[in-house]
Amino acid sequence: MMLDDFMTRAALAGIGVACAAAPLGSFVVWRRMAYFGDATAHAAILGVALSLALQISIFAGAVAVALAMALTVTVLTGRGYAMDTLLGVLAHSALAFGLVAVSFLSGIRIDLMAYLFGDILAVSRGDLAVIWGGAVLVVALIGWRWSALLTSTLSPDLAHASGIDPRREQLILTLALAITVAVAIKVVGVLLIAAMLIIPAAAARPLSRTPEQMALFGAVIGAVSAVAGLHSAYLLDTPAGPSIVCVAAIFFALTSFVRGLRA
C-alpha cells in the first residue's frame, strides 16, 4: 500500500498542514498576529514536555498548552499590557520552562530536535490520521465562520452592527491556531510553525484579488513547498522541515519580485 512509503506519508503530512495553515495564516497576516502565532507555537514545547511526563498524547498536551497560552495573552492584553512585551515574556518563558522540563525526564530518551525542528520523515499512519483530522477540523472551523471572521478582521464595529461578536470570532481563531500548532509540531517543529503560517499566505498576497484567492493560493504554495522541500531534502541530504520552509521562502521572493515588476 502507498502509505507504507515514508516519503509518501511525509508528503501527505506536509500537504495536510499546508491546507490548514493557509486560511489560518491569511488571518494571522491580515490581523498582524505573526508574533502571536510564534508565541503560541513556542509555548507548545511546554505542552510536549508535560505530555511526555504525564504520558498523555502529545497532540492533546500541545493543544492544551497552546490554547492556554493564547487565551492568557488575549485576556492580559485586554487589561492594558503591551502585546509585544507580554508575548516576549510568556512565549520565551514557556519555551524555557518546556526545555527545562524535558531535561528532567531522564527516564525517557527524547530527541529534542524532533520537536524543535520537526521529524516529518518519521510520520506514522497514526500521526497522519491526527494531522489530517486536525487539518480538516481547522479548515471546517474557519470555513464555517469565514464571513464573520473577515468582517471582524475589517472592523469590530462593522461586525457588531451586523450582529457578529468579534470576541467570539477571535476565540475561534485562537482555537484554530492551537490545533494547527499541535498538528504541525511533527512536520516543521515548534520553531518553524509560524513560518508555515505566514510565508505561504504572504507569498500568495501579490497573486490575489480577494481574500478567498489568497487562502487558496496560499494552500497551493504551501503544499507545493512541502512536496518540493521533501524532495530536495532527500536529494541534498538536508533537514526536511527547514527545507520545506526554504522552498516557501523562495516562493515568497518570486511572487514579491513579480509584483515589483508589475508596479
Partner 1 sequence: MSLVSVQNISVGYGATKVLRGVSLEIDPGEILTVVGPNGSGKTTLLRALIGAVTPASGRIERGAGLRIGYVPQKLHIDPTLPMTVSRFLRLPGGATPTQIAAALDRAGVPDLSNRQMSGLSGGQMQRILLARALIGQPNLLLLDEATQGLDQPGSAAFYRQIEEVRAATGCAVVMISHELHVVMSASDRVICLNGHVCCEGTPEIVSAAPEYQALFGTGTGGALALYRHDHDHSHDATCGHDHAHDDSTTKAAE
* CA dist., res. 249 & res. 123, Å (int): 24
Closest distance between partner 1 and the C-beta of residue 198, in Å? Answer: 10
Closest CA to 179 of 240, 134, 223: 134
Grid cell digits, residue 19: 491546507
Element (H, E) at 174: helix 166-188
State which residue, 8 or 256, has the beta carbon closest to partner 1. 256
State which residue, 146 or 234, has the beta carbon closest to partner 1. 146
Closest distance between partner 1 and the C-beta of residue 217, in Å? Answer: 10
State which residue, 7 or 150, has the beta carbon closest to partner 1. 150
Closest distance between partner 1 and the C-beta of residue 78, in Å? Answer: 12
Residue ranges binding partner 1 (CB under 8 A): 29-32, 147-148, 150-151, 153-164, 202, 205, 208-214, 259, 263
State which residue, 125 or 259, has the beta carbon closest to partner 1. 259
Closest distance between partner 1 and the C-beta of residue 15, in Å? Answer: 24
- Report the b/e string of 15-43 with b at 16+ CB within 10 A: bbbbbbbbbbbbbbbbeebbbbbbbbbbb
Spatial CB neighbours of 79, under 8 Å, sequence gap ≥ 6: none
